[in-house]
Amino acid sequence: MNNSSASAASGSVPAASTAGIPDILIIGAGPGGYRAAEYAAKQGLKVVIIEAGEVGGTCLNVGCIPTKTYVHSASFAEARERMDTVIPQLRSGVEGILSHPNITLIRGKASFASPCSVCCDAIATNEPIAAKNIIIATGSETKWLPLKGLDDSRVVDSTGLLQLDTLPKRLAIIGAGVIGMEFASVFNRFGSEVTVIEYLKECLPALDSDIAKRLRKTLEKRGITFKMKTAVENIADIDADVVLMATGRKPRTEGLNLEAAGITLAPNGAIPVDENFCVTSLSAASSGSVPAASTAGLYAIGDVNGRQMLAHAAEMQAVRAVNHIMGKKDGIRFDIMPAAIFTEPEAACVGPTEDQLKNATVPDASPAGYTCHKAFWRANGKALAMNETEGMLKLFSGDGGRILGCHAYGAHSADIVQEVSTLMCKHTTIDELRDMVHIHPTLGEILRGAVE
Ligand SMILES: Cc1cc2nc3c(=O)[nH]c(=O)nc-3n(C[C@H](O)[C@H](O)[C@H](O)COP(=O)(O)OP(=O)(O)OC[C@H]3O[C@@H](n4cnc5c(N)ncnc54)[C@H](O)[C@@H]3O)c2cc1C
């Protein structure tokens, strides 16, 4: 146990109950919350997890899984049908995980009663549950821009779009970020007339601008209209049957009564945390002016801390937080966080963009500069055989040939970027990569081709 949590067990929590109080109380059973519960329970810790909606969170119910089911369905009708089997199947898998004897799942909405206890509306007596450590894993929600006409019935967010029963003839998407681009790609393939309206000059700002531009051009050729450098002011000006608001997500903290825990939010609405995902913005009440023994170890993992809004980031943050609670060290590299965009073809990245390296705006930018190694899908045998010739990869190396990152678009680029991510964790150099055998014929050879 870390110091704060160890002392919490003997603090203002009634002495009689300390033996029975859970080691960890988790708010939210998305990828962050259920992974923390599973990992902690397997280590022998007693866990209570409170979930207001369906287990699996945004990712399983209205995020990663439904959208990827759409990507891998031939038609809108098939996608709707498959969602009805895929999601319940995965949800029952998570319920299975949470049925571990060390885990108590409570279905209800949680809010803080004090820095070391939480109320749940499903508990009739409203008696707070005290815990030695509390992990906040409440995720994020759609960020609505304050546009005129938002009450227009045509306007939906990603959850609303997934609930449509009929394919919209004309779909307008506000925002060319990950969610906007993925839906643009899939609804275009289903047969909708898709227009993407974006304020910035390029789509997908986290992706290398060269790669992002090529991907946009590819999608343009498939019939998607992009209106770049265009600000929407009034929904009434948009000529479409359905308007998707895809202008980002914000941490979900409403109703948590964070004041009772002494937690102050950052200006972007996120819960500030340190490298172990311990909450850092604690007021005096929870950080020391009252005896330290009255506080629980407070953690915030996943989208709610606003760090990296990705399901795999939430899961790894869960592991780190539980390790910290147990006083265990790990080697998780949160600075190496691969991400993918499941358009067709897909795009993926890890590490800095070329613009960031050029302008030395990232810690990895070495004074000696960087080298960009390129490769193309059209020069790869497997890609040609698959008729997937659209794609380009940029691999960056720095001092001593150390791999700094990779940005790519093309079929299965996420799998290739995953390999680069693993190589980066092992401090691999370009020379070492050149010596690594890749199976022929595979798309993996594109990576080795970049350094030949
Ligand atoms: C359309 C879409 C597509 C996406 N695709 C991908 C993808 O392909 N890959 C990827 O990595 N990420 C993707 N994401 C992001 C991913 O879904 C999130 O990063 C991930 O779900 C975050 O996990 P989390 O555990 O932090 O929160 P969530 O999954 O949001 O879970 C939080 C849970 O907390 C519960 N909760 C909230 N408040 C309370 C409360 N007061 N009491 C009790 N319970 C509460 C909620 O009901 C919810 O179940 C996508 C997101 C969207 C919207």
Q: Are strands 193-197 and 170-174 parallel, antiparallel or unpaired?
A: parallel
> What was the pLDDT predicted at 283?
77
**What's the pLDDT tens digit per position in 113-145?**
999 999 999 999 989 999 999 999 999 999 999
Residue of 58, 204, 252, 256 with the most ligand 1 atoms within 8 Å of its CB, for mutation:
58
C-alpha triplet 310, 442, 311: angle, nearest 5°: 10
Cα 57 to averaged position of ligand 1 atoms, centre (Å): 5
Half-sphere exposure of 188 (CA within 13 A, CB side): 23
**What's the pLDDT tens digit per position in 10-25?**
233 333 345 589 999 9
Check residues 16 and 296 and name the one with the higher pLDDT: 296
C-alpha triplet 409, 410, 411: angle, nearest 5°: 140
What average pLDDT does range 265-291 have in this prediction? Answer: 80
Cα 252 to averaged position of ligand 1 atoms, centre (Å): 9
> What was the pLDDT predicted at 360?
78
Q: Quote the CA–CA distance of 404 and 424 in Å, as a whole number.
A: 7
Asked whether 317 lines ligand 1 (CB < 6 A), one says: no
- Cis peptide bond N-terminal to 101, omega within 30: no
Assess whether 72 carries a catalytic annotation. Answer: no
With beta carbons less than 8 A apart as the criterion, state whether 399 and 368 touch: yes
Cα 178 to averaged position of ligand 1 atoms, centre (Å): 15
Residue of 64, 86, 307 with the most ligand 1 atoms within 8 Å of its CB, for mutation:
64
Cα 56 to averaged position of ligand 1 atoms, centre (Å): 8
Asked whether 33 lines ligand 1 (CB < 6 A), one says: yes
